[in-house]
Structure 1
Amino acid sequence: MKNNYLNMIGLAYKAGKCSLGEDAIVRDIQQKKAKLVLLASDTGVQTKKKLTDKCKFYKVPFLVADDRETLSQAIGKSQRVAIAILDAGFADKIKSLLG
């Protein structure tokens, strides 16, 4: 079950439907492009607060997923603590897989 949602993140990234980096994610949340924000469980306190506050204010759903190493591996990048999913279809599927 866990691998399925990681596979979906990888597919979304390859399809160009992901946003990486704190500044880019905040911009996509504010512009209502982000459909789901995934946070690593070991995200720093300030980063987690900033992103969750933005998500709550702009009514963008967010989920705390695996650690940063697992999330980073899913997209083939290193040390990524947050990923914004920009496609509603991918976001809905990932939400359903994470329950």
Structure 2
Amino acid sequence: MENKIFSFLGLAQRSGNLVTGEDTCIFNIKKNAVKLVIVANDASNNTKKKFQDVTGHKNVKFIIYGEKKQLSHAVGKINRTVYGIKDEAFANKLFSLIKDCLNNLGGE
């Protein structure tokens, strides 16, 4: 299941439907251009809280998943913590995949 998620992230990157990095994601959230935000499990608590707050105010889906190294590798970037999905269909599918994976692991 994780491989499918990472492959899907890579596809989002290649299709131009992914933004990465804290500042870029915040900018795109404020422009209502992001439909889903993924924050790595190993992000700081401040980063998690900041994105939980800003996505809540903008009604953007938010989920914590994966580790920085895995997520960064999946999209061909180095040391990225925050990912924004711009396309609604991509966002819905990826959110569903991640929720299913977390439910199968017994955690969230």
Scaled to the shorter chain, the TM-score interval is over 0.9
- What residue is the counterpart of 2:33 in the other structure? 33
2: CA distance, partners of 1:36 / 1:15: 16
Pairs within 5 Å for 1:46-65? 46-65=46-65
Query: Under a length normalisation based on structure 2, what TM-score does the superposition of the two structures give?
Result: 0.87
Pairs within 5 Å for 1:1-99? 1-99=1-99
Shift of 1:61: 0.6
2: CA distance, partners of 1:96 / 1:53: 21
2: CA distance, partners of 1:54 / 1:97: 23
Residue 91 of structure 1 aligns with an amino acid whose one-letter code is: A
Aligned sequence identity (%): 35
Structure 1 spans left out of the alignment, 5+ residues: none
Shift of 1:90: 0.8
Deviating 4+ runs (over 4 angstroms): none
Shift of 1:34: 0.4
Residue 44 of structure 1 aligns with an amino acid whose one-letter code is: S
CA RMSD in angstroms, aligned pairs only: 0.9
1: CA distance, partners of 2:69 / 2:31: 28
From the CA coordinates, give the structure whose radius of gyration is larger.
2
- Structure with the bigger RCO (C-alpha within 8 Å, sep 6+) is 1
Residue 92 of structure 2 aligns with an amino acid whose one-letter code is: D
